[in-house]
Structures are given as structure tokens and as C-alpha cells.
């Protein structure tokens, strides 16, 4: 099948590559010439396990091509997949300018029937907006050409995007036209083999499904973070509580890990956007705004513990920081808790020696040569002359450090762990003071 993908960001590139992998003829279009030039040389703009090899291979076989030529892009695919960004506006609502501009481009160039497949996370009602903008653009051209608009949200997790695409939990197809449902079903046949994964519904419900899924997951996390803070006040251990409640099938073990807050490109943006949508409709979404507030507060929890431990005397102190990306297996630092912590420490006069297996280049891009921030090449380099260690991302390499070495290296022999990675008894035995989330301090 012939498929055009608009936007070669995270979602677009993964979608295009996976569709090419199963034998489709995919053309990816982006307005960024530099990005397209690099992709044509096999250089990919993001880190995602397995993606680079897949892009190269499919590119070599000619199944995956890249262009900036809009006319060529619209001519190519029966399916015109929209995977451009929807960044938050100042008021939290999703900025639709890129989605609408792609819709206009399609309508300006199309000469025959097209299916516009919306993969970007967009507010409920966007498919209708896309439809009327396209109708108007076609009418202005004096063209009478049929098209359909489908909402087909993605549920990719960074770090696991390829397997999420290849073996999805569900494929949501939102359309009000049965003809399009059939076309989309055909497109997804290779990903729907072992059991039925396709869930067809109306457009607005599909658009809301994406927000509902992310908001539910974010709610689980904020709920656990709230309880973790409460557990600290009560002298209880949230890890035992987590085990206790996760065993209930109705609750489950997924997404109930307390920590120093959720980050990334989706949860913060989507919770805000859904809250904003509600507000615009005159409905106060109490739970959503609490989820967001709890998370914002949680990103400051480690700093508060550090501040308290050192009685506010942070000037001149050196902190080793393990982890910069918002989660493991990605170099993405958008809304990462690490940023809140490192900025607070530096503002308080401390130096931060940070290490991350993948996000150092991204940190350099964001912070340049920010005073007080030293980017280190290894986790042990980050520990040199440090007073304390802070862990904010649960990269595997951080799971089992040599605690005796840590005790020798750290001037204050104290560890602040935002991901509850360690067994308090082990650190205690090594002579380390250990702060984590929702568990009693051990020393
Ligand atoms: C998320 C959704 O999972 C995905 O379906 C959607 O398409 C995009 O948004 P992603 O942003 O890649 O994916 O990250 P995810 O793995 O969901 O983690 C989000 C954040 O929640 C991370 O900061 C993570 O550390 C945090 N988290 C996750 C917790 O704090 N506790 C948990 O129990 C789980």
C-alpha cells in the first residue's frame, strides 16, 4: 500500500518505519530540509532502540523514502498520515497550527480520493475542523474530490515504540464512515494477526480515548505519589503498600510506582490539554487539575529532602546526578524531573555533576555551558568529589552500584533516590544514609 506520513518526529518516524517494515511503500514528508537530508543519509534525529537499523534497512530497499516536496507527498499515498506535533499553547490547550497546515496542504494538492489519518494527539473535534478546512480549501480550488478523515491515535511508549507498534494492545479506528474502517483494517492487517486488536468507534470517541488513556495512567502515578508522601508522614512504607494493593487484579501492578514525578512529551501535555478542553466547555475537571498539581509538587520532593538534610547549606556542595532523561531507554528530557532538581540545586549555589547513558547531548543542547552544571562521561566520573548522590532515572546501569565504593567516594555518604531503586538495608549496612520516596529514611 502507498502511505504518506507528515512529520518525521517521534511518532511519524516510528509509524513510517514500521509500516515500511511490513512491505508498504512509505514516503515521509517534513518541512525541515536538514532533517530530511540527514534521514536520507541514515542519520535519525532521536534515540529509540532498534529504530536506526530499521530506518536504514527499509531506506536501502526503497520502501521508506523522505522528502520535503508537498505535492509529491500528497500524490503518493492513499493514506495521508498526520503525525506532526501538537505542542501546548500558553493556556495549556493543544496548538493545532501544524495539524491544520498539513490538512490544508493535502487539500491544496490532492487530485483523487485520500484518507487523512490523524495520529497526532488532538483535542476532540479536531477531525471535524480538519474536514471543514479541507472542504473549504477544495471549494476555493473549485475541486470536487472525495476524502475521509480518521482518528487513529498512537499509544507508543518511548523506548519501546517499535514493539508497541508491531504488537499493539489495541488499534483504535475512529471514523463515521464504514468505507474508511475497512481501508484502515486492511492497512493494519499485518499488526492484527494473533488476535483481534482493532476497536472501531466514532471519531470523537477515538480522539477522547487517547486523552483518557494518558490521563488515567497519569492519575495512577499521581495517586501513588500522593500516598507515598502520606506514607512518609505516617511512618509507613509505600513499597509494601504498592505490593499490597497491586495484588488486587482490579488495581494491578502497572503504573503504580511512586517516584519523583512523571515527565515526557505526553502525560504533562495531555493532562493539561484535557483539563483545558473541559474548562473551555465550562466544566471544571477537578481530578485532572489535582493530578497535574500533585505531579508538579512531586518533582520538587527530592530537592526538599536534600535541602532539609543539609539544613539549607547547599552553597558549594557537589551533587552527583544519575539520570537526565525522563525515563530509561530514551534521550528525551522534555518535562523531566531531573531538570527541576538540577536547576533548583544550581540556584541554591551547588554544583551538579550529571551522567546519563543517552541524554548527555540533549542536556548540552538544552543547557549549553550552564554555570554549575558539569556533564560527565560515566556514572563514576559524576561521583568524583561529590557530597551526595541523587538518582532520578531508573536506567539499568544504576540498579546495582557498589555501595561500599559509594560510601568511600561520597563526602557525606548520602543517597537521594527518586525511583526507589535500592534496598534500604543494603545501604544502611554499607554505612550510607538513604532517602527515597514514601519509605522511612534509613541510616
Ligand atoms: C506515554 C504512554 O504510556 C503512551 O501510551 C503514550 O502514547 C505516550 O505517553 P511515554 O511518555 O513514552 O508514554 O512514557 P511512559 O513509559 O508511559 O512513562 C511516563 C512517565 O511516567 C515517566 O516519567 C515515568 O517515569 C513515569 N512513571 C511511569 C512513574 O512515575 N510511575 C509508574 O509507575 C510508571
Instruction: Scan for cell 466544566, then name that residue.
Output: 283
Interface confidence, given as ipTM, is 0.91
Residue of 51, 239, 262, 269 with the most ligand 1 atoms within 8 Å of its CB, for mutation: 262
DSSP one-letter code for 319: E
- What pTM value is reported for the model? 0.93
- Is residue 35 a known part of a binding site? yes
Per the CB < 8 A criterion, the answer to whether 153 and 119 are in contact is: yes
CA dist 44 and 38 (Å) reads 7
What pLDDT score does 412 carry?
Answer: 95
> Tell me, what DSSP letter sits at residue 266?
S
Distance between CA atoms of residues 259 and 271, nearest Å: 18
Q: Say what the pLDDT of residue 186 is.
A: 97
The per-residue pLDDT for range 186-206, each reduced to its tens digit, is 999 999 998 999 999 999 999
DSSP 153-221: ---PPTTSHHHHHHS-S-EEEE-S-HHHHHHHHHHHGGGS-SS--EEEE-HHHHHHHHHHHHHHHHHHH
Angle at which helix 203-234 crosses helix 286-298, to 10 degrees, equals 50
The predicted structure's pLDDT at residue 112: 98
Residue with CA closest to ligand 1 atom 27: 262
Instruction: Report the alpha-carbon distance of residue 100 to residue 84 in Å, rounded.
Output: 10
Q: Flag residues of the chain having pLDDT under 50.
A: none
Question: What's the grid cell of residue 396?
Answer: 539499568
266 is catalytic: yes
In short, whether 165's Cβ falls inside 6 Å of ligand 1 is no
Domains present along the chain, CATH in parentheses: 2-201 (3.40.50.720), 211-297 (1.10.1040.10), 299-435 (3.40.50.720)
Ligand 1 site, residue 257, Cβ cutoff 6 A: yes
Amino acid at each position: 500500500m502507498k502511505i504518506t506520513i507528515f512529520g518525521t518526529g517521534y511518532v511519524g518516524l516510528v509509524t513510517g518505519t514500521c509500516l515500511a517494515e511490513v512491505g508498504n511503500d512509505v514516503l515521509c514528508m517534513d518541512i525541515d530540509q536538514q532533517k530530511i537530508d540527514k534521514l536520507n543519509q541514515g542519520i535519525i534525529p532521536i534515540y529509540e532502540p532498534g529504530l536506526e537499523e530499521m530506518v536504514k534497512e527499509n531506506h536501502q530497499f526503497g520502501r521508506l523514502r523522505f522528502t520535503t516536496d508537498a505535492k509529491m507527498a500528497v500524490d503518493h499515498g492513499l493514506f495521508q498520515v498526520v503525525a506532526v506535533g501538537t505542542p501546548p499553547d500558553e493556556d495549556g490547550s493543544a496548538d493545532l497550527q501544524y495539524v491544520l497546515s498539513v490538512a490544508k496542504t493535502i487539500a491544496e494538492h490532492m487530485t483523487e480520493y485520500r484518507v487523512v489519518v490523524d495520529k497526532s494527539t488532538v483535542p476532540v473535534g479536531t477531525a471535524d475542523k480538519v474536514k471543514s478546512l479541507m472542504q473549504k480549501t477544495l471549494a476555493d480550488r473549485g475541486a470536487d474530490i472525495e476524502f475521509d478523515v480518521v482518528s487513529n491515535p498512537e499509544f507508543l511508549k518511548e523506548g519501546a515504540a517499535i514493539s508497541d507498534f508491531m504488537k499493539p494492545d489495541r488499534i483504535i479506528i475512529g471514523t463515521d464512515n464504514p468505507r474508511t474502517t475497512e481501508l484502515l483494517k486492511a492497512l493494519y492487517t499485518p499488526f492484527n494477526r494473533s488476535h483481534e486488536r482493532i476497536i472501531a468507534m466514532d471519531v470523537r470517541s477515538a480522539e477522547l480515548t487517547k486523552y483518557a488513556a494518558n490521563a488515567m495512567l497519569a492519575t495512577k502515578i499521581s495517586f501513588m505519589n500522593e500516598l507515598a508522601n502520606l506514607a512518609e508522614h505516617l511512618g509507613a512504607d509505600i513499597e509494601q503498600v504498592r505490593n499490597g494493593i497491586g495484588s488486587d487484579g482490579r488495581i494491578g501492578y502497572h503504573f503504580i510506582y511512586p517516584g519523583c514525578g512523571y515527565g515526557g512529551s505526553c502525560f504533562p501535555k495531555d493532562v493539561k490539554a484535557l483539563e483545558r478542553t473541559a474548562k473551555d466547555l465550562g466544566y471544571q475537571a477537578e481530578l485532572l487539575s489535582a493530578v497535574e498539581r500533585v505531579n508538579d509538587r512531586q518533582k520538587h520532593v527530592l530537592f526538599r529532602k536534600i535541602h532539609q538534610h543539609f539544613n539549607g547549606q547547599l552553597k558549594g556542595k557537589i551533587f552527583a546526578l544519575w539520570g537526565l532523561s525522563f525515563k530509561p531507554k530514551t534521550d528525551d528530557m522534555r518535562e523531566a524531573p531531573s531538570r527541576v532538581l538540577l536547576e533548583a540545586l544550581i540556584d541554591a549555589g551547588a554544583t551538579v555533576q550529571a551522567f546519563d547513558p543517552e541524554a548527555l547531548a540533549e542536556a548540552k543542547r538544552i543547557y549549553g555551558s550552564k554555570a554549575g552544571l558539569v556533564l560527565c562521561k560515566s556514572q563514576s566520573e559524576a561521583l568524583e568529589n561529590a557530597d551526595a548522590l541523587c538518582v532520578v532515572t531508573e536506567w539499568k546501569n544504576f540498579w546495582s552500584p557498589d555501595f561500599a565504593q559509594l560510601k568511600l567516594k561520597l563526602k557525606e555518604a548520602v543517597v537521594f533516590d527518586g525511583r526507589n531503586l535500592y534496598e534500604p538495608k543494603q545501604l544502611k549496612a554499607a554505612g550510607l544514609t538513604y532517602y527515597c520516596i514514601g519509605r522511612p529514611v534509613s541510616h
